[in-house]
Amino acid sequence: MTLVLPPRLTASAGSVRAAAERRGLATVALPSFAVPPGLRAEHLHAGPSFADAVAPALGIATLQAPGDWLATLPRVHTGREIALLPLARAHALRRPVFVKSPNDKSIPARVYADGSRLPGLDAFAPETEVLVSDIVAFSAEYRLHVLDGAVRTGSQYAEDGRSRRAPLPPAALSFAAELLAAHGHTLPSAIVVDIGLTGGRWAVIEANAAWASGIYDADPDRALDVVLRAARPVSALDPRDRPFVRTAPEGGGL
């Protein structure tokens, strides 16, 4: 089996690559987004733009959370109001909000003073969906690599907005177990979920595709288990994961 990687590797991607090679997988870092003739590969670990260009040509299915997943969670698990809106409606908001694209970074994830500060409708289609949420501050943030509804590994990655690496505390695992017991069926079998503390309470930050996520200080070998499931041959998909296969956007902008 072969794991495909993008031209430039982060330290995190390098750890995933080393874990794959320890397991006996071949790894190939492509020099561009073009797939060389004759290349055969079953898995990938890269950002969405690279995956959208490479995965279809290799017959790899990339799994991700539904775009509205955060918006469907109850407030007890999010700690804030969240809605999935078309960009045209978000433009009409006249209050400070946090806005991000559901499954990529086409709309920069940040606080906007109001909807008029969002990228213009001359650059993005009015129906482009964005997640709009109340503004909250997370005092600590953790990444969970989830496989079959259970946390496989994970790591703290931030504290008060600054980088901080540390193991997962028991309270994070307890919150994750409660969350996944209630809502794990609404996610693909392999996914990354970020959680954190806000106002002293646990809350979901977001879900990310495992094939596109950094691992921070998580166990690389356990994280690799999640990556390999999250991006695997279309022919190896089971019915449970078929609804979560990413479809490459026709273009973030017009």
Neighbours of 11 (CB within 10 A): 9
At 64, the pLDDT band (50, 70, 90 cuts) reads: very high
Task: Return the number of other C-beta atoms located less than 10 Å from residue 193's C-beta.
Answer: 26
Residue 253 has pLDDT above 50, yes or no: no
Neighbours of 62 (CB within 10 A): 27
* Burial of residue 196, with CB atoms counted within 10 A of its CB: 0-12 exposed, 13-18 middle, 19 or more buried: buried
User: What pLDDT, on a 0 to 100 scale, did the predictor assign at position 251?
Assistant: 46
Which among 156, 188, 175, 189 is positioned nearest to 79, based on CA atoms? Answer: 175
What pLDDT digit, counting tens, does each position of 155-192 carry?
999 999 999 999 999 999 999 999 999 999 999 999 99
Burial of 35 (0-12, 13-18, 19+ CB in 10 A): middle
Residue 170 DSSP SS3: helix
The string of DSSP codes covering 33-68 is SSPPTT---SEE---HHHHHHHHHHHTEEEB---TT
DSSP, collapsed to helix, strand or coil, labels residue 194 as strand
The four Cα atoms 35, 39, 42, 43 give a dihedral, to 10 degrees, of -40
CA angle, 68 as apex, 92 and 194 as ends, to 5°?
Answer: 110
- 252 pLDDT band (50/70/90 cuts)? very low
pLDDT in tens, 29-45: 999 999 999 999 999 99
Residue 207, both tokens: 């879900």
254: pLDDT strictly greater than 60: no
pTM: 0.92
Provide the mean pLDDT of the chain: 94
Question: H or E element: which one contains 229?
Answer: helix 220-230
Token pair recorded at residue 214 = 């950094």
